[in-house]
Amino acid sequence: MTGWLMMPWAPEARLYCAPKRLLFTLALGEDPDLPSRAPVLAGMAQPAQKTGHGALDRILGVFGGNVRLARLHSPANQASGFDLTEHASGMSRTYVASFSDYSRIDQAADALRQLAVVTSASADYFVVSSDAHLTGTSTEAPESWPWDMIGANRRASAEFGDPAITTAVLDTGAARRHAEISGRLSSGFDTVNFAGAELAQGLSLVGDYGTRDTDPDESNNPHGTACLALIGGNGRGMPQGLATQTSLMPVRVLASARTPRRGNTDNIVGVGALSDIDCGIKRAVDLGAKVLNCSFGTAESAISPGDPMPHADTTAYALARGTIVVAASGNSGKRERYHPSAAEGVISVGSVGPDGKPSQFSTTGDHVALSAPGEAIRTPHIEGYQLSTGTSFAAPFVAGAAALLVARARRGAQPIDGPKAREILTATARPFDRPTRGSGAGILNLPAALAAVDRLSAHASTLGKTPLH
């Protein structure tokens, strides 16, 4: 999940942002045909200097001088261009403005929001992960307790997933060589694209961060590797992942950075720009991902007044395409809203400990759908293993379960989308031992969820045989 850095370019926010870049979305039907960002970054196209909207271009000129403009996203179908879903969700209408000089990004965004042609404008904020990683090797509970709690080790009818179903993990990428995920990953990609000079003093980027490529490999930060292993890992030095037959797509949307914490050699965090994360979400959906795991988030209270909610358009696009979006609720220990977990239709996941009680750090709220184990979870480290704590590690249990529900439903010729998956998972969750507010319907119960899918398929089959009169 996310913490924040102080940002001198937007004092009203508690998030850091790119000092020379902002995002804006235009009204439906008002979007100029500018080149997309991906071919611009690849050197295959030149950025535009104007949008063709006079007032908008004048405002950008006042704040930035030499402005470079591009669409944030590329169309799912390059041959036919953006379709109706992409237009309606805003994918075709979102643009990136890059300035040659440092600017007051907050003032520029506010000025753009005054124009009727602009539906939203904001800084390009940076997300900084802050899950707790426990490097010890022991805990009072057995290492298998998370799998035991959700019923993964006592399924009456085994379900391991379907290779035709792709689960994308949007995170820090993957250490492909690790035994837990070796041989398990499909082709992924990397959307990280920013310079170290854009970050706050004290954070130093490590590894690959300056260019987009098709290689999501990450040898500095185990966060993404841990999530991948929990969803569908091999089970070499930890219990097997839930969906060992699902296709796992690593999507690197967070770079690795070293923090200035003293006396701690394991001080690597994930850092990502909202624009890069949104590009990763859309691209994963366009490549056929049926389930997305998003173990990151931005507090609603941390952004400037008037800014759009982070990832609202891209998660709406994913849901419109039939993709199931699972996100960690947050680690603030408060009752508040993090995004994308609080977005409409997203399955927000809180954390519980071995005693089945909500974790003290788990962010709560009415938007939280259910909870899953998130304390002292055995996960891969860069070399070997560690015990990891945070809602980041509760979410993959639910994402893996969602992949299994889709596989089971397909065997019964039944489709499952985001709303249906949320309905099944919450209806079958094991209730908390005592009334609990803001942690969802209960704890993930995998056997009950699979049984509900079986009943759904059986009912549909019976209806199909009913004669018409």
Which residue would you say has higher pLDDT here, 304 or 308?
308
- Cα(56)–Cα(99) distance, integer angstroms: 14
SS (H, E, C) 148-169: HHHCCCCCCCCCCCCCCCEEEE
For residue 154, the model assigns a pLDDT of 60
Q: What is the pLDDT of residue 5?
A: 42
Average pLDDT over residues 83-102: 93
Backbone φ/ψ region at 180: left (φ over 0), alpha (ψ -120 to 50), beta:
alpha
Tokens at residue 246, please? 């699902």
Give the mean model confidence (pLDDT) for residues 402-414: 95
**pLDDT at residue 102 greater than cutoff 80:** no
Q: How confident is the model at residue 195 (pLDDT cuts 50, 70, 90)?
A: low
pLDDT at 468 over 60: no
Q: Which of 142-146, 187-191, 195-199, 433-437 has the weakest average pLDDT?
A: 195-199
Q: What are phi and psi of 94, to 5 degrees?
A: -105, 130
The first and second tokens of residue 272, run together, are 């990502």
CB atoms within 10 A of CB 335: 12
Measure the CA–CA gap between 353 and 375, rounded to whole angstroms: 5
Pairing verdict, β 166-171 and 94-99 = unpaired
Q: Which pLDDT score, from 0 to 100, does residue 256 have? A: 84
Residues 378-399, mean pLDDT to the nearest whole number: 94
Cα-to-chain-centroid distance, residue 240? 23
Could you say which DSSP state residue 420 is in? Answer: H
> In angstroms, how far is CA 174 from the centroid of its own chain?
15
Contact 414, 452 (CB under 8 A): no
Question: What is residue 80's predicted lDDT score, i.e. its pLDDT?
Answer: 92
- The residue behind tokens 């070293």 is 258
Phi-psi region of 412 (alpha: psi -120 to 50; beta: other; left: phi over 0): alpha
Amino acid at 334: K
User: What tens digit of pLDDT does each residue of 241-266 get?
Assistant: 999 999 999 999 998 887 766 444 45
Instruction: Note the pLDDT tens digit of each residue in 9-19.
Output: 444 556 788 88
Mean of pLDDT values over 201-205: 68
pLDDT band at 462 (very low <50, low <70, confident <90, very high): low
Measured CA to CA, the distance from residue 296 to residue 253 in angstroms comes to 10
* CA–CA distance, 69 with 81 (Å, rounded to integer): 19
What's residue 4's pLDDT?
38
Instruction: Say if residue 267's pLDDT is above 50.
Output: yes
User: Could you tell me the pLDDT band of residue 127, with boundaries at 50, 70 and 90?
Assistant: confident
Decide which of 393 and 218 is more confident.
Answer: 393
What are the pLDDT digits (tens) for 34-48?
Answer: 999 999 988 899 999
Question: Would you say the pTM of this structure is higher than 0.75?
Answer: yes
**Cβ–Cβ under 8 Å, residues 456 and 412:** yes
pLDDT at 265: 47
Summarize the confidence of residues 110-133 as an average pLDDT: 87
408 contacts: CB under 8 Å, gap ≥ 6 = 159, 450, 453, 454, 457
Question: What pairs with residue 109 in β-bridges?
Answer: none
* Residue 148 burial class via C-beta count within 10 angstroms: exposed 0-12, middle 13-18, buried 19 and up: middle
Q: What pLDDT, on the 0 to 100 scale, is given for residue 302?
A: 87
Which of 188-192, 339-343, 464-468: highest mean pLDDT?
339-343
% of the chain with per-residue pLDDT over 70: 86
The structural domains of the chain, with segments of one domain joined by +, span 2-127, 134-457
For the residues 155-180, what does the mean pLDDT come to?
88
Rg (CA), the chain: 22
**Structure confidence at residue 8 (pLDDT):** 40
**Does the pLDDT at position 214 exceed 80?**
no
Residue 138, pLDDT score: 47
- Four-CA torsion 444, 447, 451, 457, nearest 10 degrees: 80
Going by CATH, does the domain composed of 134-457 fall within 3.40.50.200? yes
- The answer to whether the peptide bond before residue 431 is cis (omega within 30 degrees of 0) is no
- Residue 217: pLDDT band by 50, 70, 90 thresholds? confident
The pLDDT, as a whole number, for residue 130 is 63
Higher pLDDT, 144 or 101: 144
Number of other residues whose CB lies within 10 A of the CB of residue 456: 18
Residue 465's pLDDT is what?
A: 56
- Is the pLDDT at 137 greater than 50? The verdict is no
366-383 pLDDT, tens digit per residue, is 999 999 999 999 999 988
CA angle in degrees (0–180, nearest 5) for 393-456-465: 155
What is the distance between the alpha carbons of residues 437 and 460, in angstroms, rounded to a whole number?
35
Residue 83 DSSP code: -
Q: What is the mean pLDDT of the chain?
A: 88
463/183: higher pLDDT: 183
Q: What pLDDT, on the 0 to 100 scale, is given for residue 382?
A: 84
